[in-house]
Amino acid sequence: MSFPTRPLGQSPLMVSPLCFGGNVFGWTVDPSTSFALLDAWLGAGMNFVDTADVYSRWVPGHVGGESETLIGQWLQKSGKRKQLVLATKLGKDMGDGKVGLHPKYIKQAVDASLTRLQTDYIDLYQTHDDDPNIPLEDVLGTLGELIQAGKVRAIGASNYSAQRLAEALDCSDRHRLARFDSLQPLYNLYDRAVFEKELQPLCVARNVGVINFYALAAGFLTGKYRSEADVGKSLRGAKTTSLYLNPRGLRIVDALEQVAAQYKAQPGEVAIAWLLQQAGIAAPIASATSLAQLQSLVTAATLQLDATALAALDDASRED
């Protein structure tokens, strides 16, 4: 199977309709399974993988860089670097003062990521968080130097407000600096309001490709979390309790199950398919910890929901 690629913003990158979230590598997925998932992802016709230097520093005994290290080992073993659009991020706290977007630190962080990834270039290098303490001209200027040096092909932003993203795009235009060609925001069928109110219109108008995270709301939109008793089903399950396990969340899952039955699909597949039909979305980011879960993501990319299904999902996910 192969999927048509699409441009990511105004960058030279052509990406598959879905992006594999690499936060699971070295966390909930061991090395051998990580390698199998990466092989299967490319084998299924996808080419886009996202990670970050900080993955998975939150795990006891980890220091960050575990995901990048595993991806790097796979790249060396597989020889498939040219088939992959590889994205990573910097800026989250790595300890020992390694945090933020100071120009000196950006240059240190990119070299550390390149070493762990065992590659000489990163396709998409993203600022994991905004850093209001550093002038945008300095951040964009330094990232532009990385592009000029061949270490990075394109740059993107994550977790930026609409105001700050607009300021960054204006800064790039005004000073002829490298521009953010992608945005990585929180967006899914439950978490809609913040993105749709200001970020989505901005990204569409300014041609910034959206690669949203939590596409399945930490697994909640798969329908496997229906009660407090279900929370222990996975390491990520606890996150769904306070965030999504409420009347609105359950209403959304009910609608997903109804649409899924019509399409002979799974609820999570419908949730991904809905995202793929939203304006400005380039490639939702979703993770898998098994080959079966990965195949479900691939199936989702083939679903085309009709107007009735889309309306039912929109109605169920309206804010209370």
Active site residues: 55
| Residue given tokens 């996202």 in the structure block | 50
**6 contacts: CB under 8 Å, gap ≥ 6:** 14, 15, 17, 209, 282, 283
The two structure tokens encoding residue 240:
């769904």
Task: Give the pairing of strands 6-7 and 14-15.
Answer: antiparallel
Which residue is it, tokens 């996808």? 46
User: What is the spatial distance between Cα 300 and Cα 294, in angstroms, rounded to a whole number?
Assistant: 10
How far apart are alpha carbons 253 and 317 in whole angstroms? 9
Spatial separation of the C-alpha atoms in residues 283 and 6, rounded to whole Å: 9
Determine contact, residues 23/52, Cβ cutoff 8 Å: yes
